[in-house]
Amino acid sequence: MERLDFWLRAGLHASVYLIGAAVLTFLLGKLLLRMRRLSAELIQERGGLEELEWEKQSATIASIVRRIVFSTIWALALMLALKEFQFDVGPILAGAGVAGLAIGFAAQSILKDWISGFFLLTEGQIRINDVIKIGELSGSVEKLTMRTTVLRSYDGAAHVFANGAFQNFSNLTMGHSYFVFDVAVQYEDDPERLMALFTEVGDQLRAEPEWSPFVLEPMEVAGVDRFTEQGVVVKARIKTLASQQWKVGREVLRRLRKLCAERGITIATAQRAVQLF
């Protein structure tokens, strides 16, 4: 009878710890979600480049903090629950420490991934929803943990990288972005006309409410860049909000093609002469 009372009492106390952990994680989850929504509403009201960058950084860090805090709460709750059943958790903790040390020596690559992930997060080099390029692969950062980075490419493929496996990468959406144009005209055409069209299209976008929020500066026309077998290549670029360079660039190219057709400017393409015998 005493044994039964012990198990009932221990089970009751243990359930309190576990239910408390469940309630605490639920409330913290709701609080974090509410804070994210309030932050998003504030950013929409204030706008601006710095606020958007801060939202990316805060979203990335919040996801990591959520995992760490929830794991800590449940680990403590389980330890307290086991203690109610008179389990000695001291050896468990000591064993975990020894096992962790052994694993650390046996899995140095994992430690390297964690250390690299720590610096990626704290320095803000990569944030969730950033578009980055690692080697020949590029995509939007879908998931970022202390050990791995998951990129979702345009075709839907998910590329998983260990944080310690790549030393160099390119963040295409850090702070602001540029879309670079290399458009060739035939040698018979005056490249100055194409350069003027670049400026005209850039001014059009900055004057339209639909596009002006995405374009940060006037079109920057570098001029004649090189001569190729296609023709004279004119280089230009336009500065946009982060992640908006492709959308703006496609619109510029669409309008540029239309204006070239209207003004009689021929966009050069590669030609190949075939001689028949």
Please tell me which residue, 6 or 260, carries the higher pLDDT value: 260
Query: Helices H, strands E: what count in the chain?
Result: 6, 8
Residues 214 and 237 in one domain: yes
**Nearest CA among 124, 146, 137 for reference residue 169:** 137
96 in the same domain as 15 = yes
Residue 277 lies in a domain: no
**9/84 same-domain check:** yes
Cβ proximity of 141 and 130 under 8 Å: yes
Residue 86 Ramachandran class (φ > 0 left, ψ -120 to 50 alpha, else beta): left
Would residue 272 count as lying in a domain? no
Domain boundary among 106, 138, 162: 106
Asked if residue 50 and residue 30 are part of one domain, the reply reads yes
Residues 235 and 156 placed together within one structural domain of the fold: no
For a pLDDT cut of 70, what percent of the chain falls above it? 72
pLDDT at 256: 94
CB 265 within 8 A of CB 194: yes
The reply to whether 48 and 83 lie within a common domain is yes
How confident is the model at residue 74, as a pLDDT? 79
Q: Provide the domain limits for residue 207.
A: 176-263
What six digits make up the tokens of 184? 């060739």
User: How many distinct structural domains can be found in the chain?
Assistant: 3
pLDDT of residue 46: 47
Q: What pLDDT shows up at residue 48?
A: 47
Share of the chain above pLDDT 90, in %: 31
Question: What is the DSSP annotation of 140-162?
Answer: EEEEE-SSEEEEE-TTS-EEEEE
More confident residue, 8 or 140: 140
| Same domain, yes or no: 158 and 196 | no
Q: Evaluate whether residue 115 is within a structural domain.
A: no
**245 and 189 housed in the same domain:** yes
Quick check: is 88 in a domain? Answer: yes
pLDDT mean over 3-17:
70
Of 71, 106, 141, the residue that ends a domain is: 106
For residue range 67-80, list pLDDT tens digits in order.
777 778 877 777 77
CATH code of the domain covering residue 51: 1.10.287
192-210 residue pLDDT tens: 999 999 999 999 999 999 9
Cβ–Cβ < 8 Å for 128, 63: yes
